[in-house]
Structure 1
């Protein structure tokens, strides 16, 4: 190999070492590597940054906006309740998650499936007190397995099928690869469910099990025409709250303590909850519940444009020693107190009748400008905004779900490409008011986008220097004239390149090598093409081998080594099955 090839190989080894043995951010590692390759003259500026104009990267970016629209309208909650439910164990949760994801990914591009479900799974895990790290990687792996069932399941399948048509004039039908894809999906899902506790790490932070000392008491009303009327406490999702519980129910002046989970909700029921701030914020997002204080509806603007804040009352606050109502808190600060915490003391009575004391922590609903307007005042010791606390625009939920269905349908039927469908859906989310421009801009996960885009620059370097071709030809030369052994080596090489670069780049790189090997052996190209399709699509061993793996890397709190531990066994098991079945279905 030439000097540039050795330099590129050394750089890739250094990248893998940093990602494996340090906590360096993947986006910084990849971008840094691309900059080094650019300065060394191995890749051109166009090649180094071609990933930023790649359709897959732009599609992922657009999907973040679509998901933000679902989140801001409460669509994510609907998905959680209708699709995922409330399993009673981690094993059941993994089964409830992976099975429908695999089925959906067989007919939809698996990238939008994972992008849509990441925030839903995150919220679902928090409510069930399950480690999200044991759900995010199974989500990605299930989507990958489902994508191997049909030709349209992944973009890699379509790329290889297109190369096959160009080379031989014939391609694969929609379900032709299902003869291998369905058994591989069943085997992969089975391995995850049986050995999940050994494959997937528990990355919960150590502080997550410590109780929050700020315990609020919050009163919520069941809306007269809301969807909760006639449903039980358990069916409404009000029984198991993360960090909170339903203390009692006030029904027309009659108190019902220790509320049964089978108690049916009625219009006008007053529910008294006790819990930490995150639990109180969750209650604000449930459709059919409104704060018992009507003051929130007297503030200017829409509730969806407001946020929740925690403020600590100082001894110089002008409303100290007065009730919240008599002190005119709403008129004075253009904000409404919806709950009060006082050194673990449980406060009873209506919010407006509570007499404020110095040191009280108030949960306040206010406009986004509250912090800026009161930062320099001495009325409060401390002010912090509660993350993701905006009240969803439930009136736009059906619109958001309709946009999602239209996006999926138009892409599945071939009316629009996945890129066009995602961009159109993102634009409609903004134009319809499902998500604001500010929120849409903030929803983009730049670390994921940068890593995916920079991976194309590394792939270009491997191509330009001949590194990839040299490795492939040297390894396949060891197989001699044995078709099975050549098939095995091509599968392993494709899987290796997919783990190091990207799935589509690995498939495009290996296809001409497979064609040359088939020609030399005088056998059919079809088994080699199908093997490349599976090896490039079923990439589990590294976070940057497949887009969905990268998308769950941050939300799952994973390390690079976590993918090696779970991904290598998955790759070996599914690969062995593929190598066994492919020659039996497509003869030499």
Structure 2
């Protein structure tokens, strides 16, 4: 009975994650709560993930990565390397090599967030499409993360699971046996082949001006409008350049589609889809007022009191599941939503009534306190620069932090300290040297991600304690044993990779690790090899924008469609899969 409840619960969780019914961390946590409530496992068995060494290490790495994120070291290096790039291949080489190297030791999400506006500006200045670069930098950061134990949270999660199972876990460079070859092969593919498969989109600023995206904005008809009581055609609201009146909201009534004979009334809310520049021109007409739900207007941008910025809604955003109005966007961020774009889907309705989804692209009118407010939240990724970067003091702190961390990594490499103890000491030293403040440590910690990982680890323990993992492993072995060990490795890799693309990398690793461990035990394989396979397969998300955070970050800014990830990512997925399975087979079996 318990096993049936576990399977049903996990299936429902996977469906909820795929359809984004709620935030991933909440879905996984409530699934774990359901297992506790039904008595499938005890409270201590369910909450084992909250004391897992891998999860705690990830929390410390968020804090340390925050120091480097604020220092500007990565931006300085990449910007200087890009200056002398003369061809697309040269620029890709100068970008992808350092990005993959940094990602082996730092959280790759802030690296991609930081570099996205830099790459786009460089590409625009050199009349090269930014869409040729953004997916490659995401893929390079993912590949680099497979080289070391601390390269990605997935590696640390699997390491923590190994420790929980009584194994010795990964050494600092265990994964490098596979990470280095797949990174080198992957970079060569992206530099010489992959970028040719990507679309040749214009920069996002040009897209805003030329209406290559469907943006949504709202204008209110005031009593001063001279065409009240007349038709849309008479009011000259038809045949606008790159702008379409898709809906009129009149009290509780919604008029859609809007015809040329529809009568304009005072107080009407006009919902437009199209060019932002035309909307700005339209605002000049007497009696039409852009409604952003705030006192900020487009005019504020011109006089310097505000600026236009772009954000991408994150997987872990507190904006998910609530309307823009209900989230009190203006008060929280000192910014107003001017327009919304969702790839492959038109966003319908009033701006304030839109419920954001992860990956949504938003244009904001940002006030003076915007930059300070966003530093305290992880609700979205900023993909356009805000203000002038002043890094000098932070850069010096960054160099000190780098020296401290490299020293600690050396101790971990020679097995003098565990990765957890090393990161505890590193964090303590950064606080003692005042390179890091307690407030910065708190704001750098992504508690929603930690809740997701801890809850997923609890579900992994549920799979083991109830015998579900053993039952699934027996079924898998019975089905594939006649075809040999290679067939088993391929199946486990593909299943893990599929879960990664559909849900999240950490959840995929936690669900598949217990099954892989049981398979390894039953077939006399080295559990370490199976753990490496699961860790790499869970990280190697190249086929969709939703499987990995860095793919989501570049999705909107690059103007990509799902097919762009499939077209470019499928050859890379095959390269990584074949290389990983081959090395695991010859080294660990």
Q: Where do 1:285-300 residues align within 5 Å?
A: none
1:100 paired residue number: 98
2:516 paired residue number: 510
2:111 paired residue number: 117
The 1:25–1:154 alpha-carbon spacing in structure 2 relative to 1, beyond 3 Å, is closer
The 1:432–1:189 alpha-carbon spacing in structure 2 relative to 1, beyond 3 Å, is same
CA distance in structure 1 between the aligned counterparts of 2:67 and 2:428, rounded to whole angstroms? 10
Per-residue deviation, 1:111 = 6.1
2:10 paired residue number: 12
Q: Within the alignment, does 1:413 sit opposite 2:411 as a pair?
A: yes
Per-residue deviation, 1:474 = 0.8
The 1:409–1:48 alpha-carbon spacing in structure 2 relative to 1, beyond 3 Å, is same
Per-residue deviation, 1:506 = 4.2
Q: Within the alignment, does 1:449 sit opposite 2:450 as a pair?
A: yes
Deviation by residue 1:304-336 (Cα, 9 ceiling, x = unmatched) = xxxxxx9989xxxxxxxxxxxxxxxxxxxxxxx
1:52 paired residue number: 50
CA contact (8 A) 2:496 2:538 kept: no
Per the alignment, in what secondary structure is the counterpart of residue 539 of structure 1? Answer: helix
2:476 paired residue number: 475
Per-residue deviation, 1:553 = 6.4
CA distance in structure 2 between the aligned counterparts of 1:95 and 1:570, rounded to whole angstroms? 17
Deviation by residue 1:471-523 (Cα, 9 ceiling, x = unmatched) = 221111123453444454455566668868453774465234323213xxxxx
> Which structure 1 segments of 5+ residues have no match?
212-309, 314-340, 345-359, 365-370, 376-381, 519-524
The 1:574–1:69 alpha-carbon spacing in structure 2 relative to 1, beyond 3 Å, is closer
CA distance in structure 2 between the aligned counterparts of 1:541 and 1:391, rounded to whole angstroms? 33
The 1:440–1:200 alpha-carbon spacing in structure 2 relative to 1, beyond 3 Å, is farther
CA distance in structure 1 between the aligned counterparts of 2:201 and 2:454, rounded to whole angstroms? 29
CA distance in structure 2 between the aligned counterparts of 1:183 and 1:24, rounded to whole angstroms? 38
TM-score of the two chains, using structure 1 as the length reference: 0.54
Per the alignment, in what secondary structure is the counterpart of residue 387 of structure 1? Answer: helix
CA contact (8 A) 2:480 2:487 kept: yes
CA distance in structure 1 between the aligned counterparts of 2:418 and 2:172, rounded to whole angstroms? 17
CA contact (8 A) 1:164 1:529 kept: no
Q: Where do 1:345-494 residues align within 5 Å?
A: 361-362=304-305, 384-387=368-371, 392=390, 394-414=392-412, 415-480=416-481, 482-489=484-491, 491-492=493-494
What is the aligned-residue RMSD (CA, Å)?
Answer: 5.2
Query: Which deviates more, 412-421 or 111-120?
Result: 111-120
Per-residue deviation, 1:410 = 1.1
1:538 paired residue number: 537
CA contact (8 A) 1:410 1:421 kept: yes
Per-residue deviation, 1:470 = 1.4
1:28 paired residue number: 26
Q: Where do 1:98-177 residues align within 5 Å?
A: 98-103=96-101, 110=104, 112-114=106-108, 117-125=111-119, 127-128=121-122, 130=130, 134=135, 137-147=138-148, 154-155=155-156
CA distance in structure 1 between the aligned counterparts of 2:203 and 2:28, rounded to whole angstroms? 26
CA distance in structure 1 between the aligned counterparts of 2:43 and 2:177, rounded to whole angstroms? 43
Per-residue deviation, 1:173 = 9.8
Query: Which deviates more, 496-505 or 455-464?
Result: 496-505
TM-score of the two chains, using structure 2 as the length reference: 0.54
Q: Where do 1:50-89 residues align within 5 Å?
A: 50-82=48-80
The 1:207–1:68 alpha-carbon spacing in structure 2 relative to 1, beyond 3 Å, is farther
CA contact (8 A) 2:50 2:454 kept: yes
**How many positions carry a matched residue from both structures?**
412
Per-residue deviation, 1:96 = 3.4
1:576 paired residue number: 578
CA contact (8 A) 1:149 1:181 kept: no
CA distance in structure 2 between the aligned counterparts of 1:6 and 1:70, rounded to whole angstroms? 46
CA contact (8 A) 2:513 2:531 kept: yes
Deviation by residue 1:165-189 (Cα, 9 ceiling, x = unmatched) = 979xxx9999898676554333333
Per the alignment, in what secondary structure is the counterpart of residue 462 of structure 2? Answer: helix
Deviation by residue 1:99-153 (Cα, 9 ceiling, x = unmatched) = 3344566xxxx46352662453245345436469625631442124434999xx9
Q: Where do 1:293-372 residues align within 5 Å?
A: 361-362=304-305
Q: Which has the larger radius of gyration?
A: 1
2:375 paired residue number: none
CA distance in structure 1 between the aligned counterparts of 2:188 and 2:79, rounded to whole angstroms? 25
2:231 paired residue number: none
CA contact (8 A) 2:142 2:539 kept: yes
The 1:178–1:342 alpha-carbon spacing in structure 2 relative to 1, beyond 3 Å, is closer
Per-residue deviation, 1:385 = 1.9
> Which structure 2 segments of 5+ residues have no match?
125-129, 211-293, 308-329, 335-365, 373-386
Deviation by residue 1:519-566 (Cα, 9 ceiling, x = unmatched) = xxxxxx45x7535523433324669x9xx9755366456899799947
CA distance in structure 2 between the aligned counterparts of 1:195 and 1:503, rounded to whole angstroms? 27
CA distance in structure 2 between the aligned counterparts of 1:55 and 1:173, rounded to whole angstroms? 14
CA distance in structure 1 between the aligned counterparts of 2:540 and 2:177, rounded to whole angstroms? 24
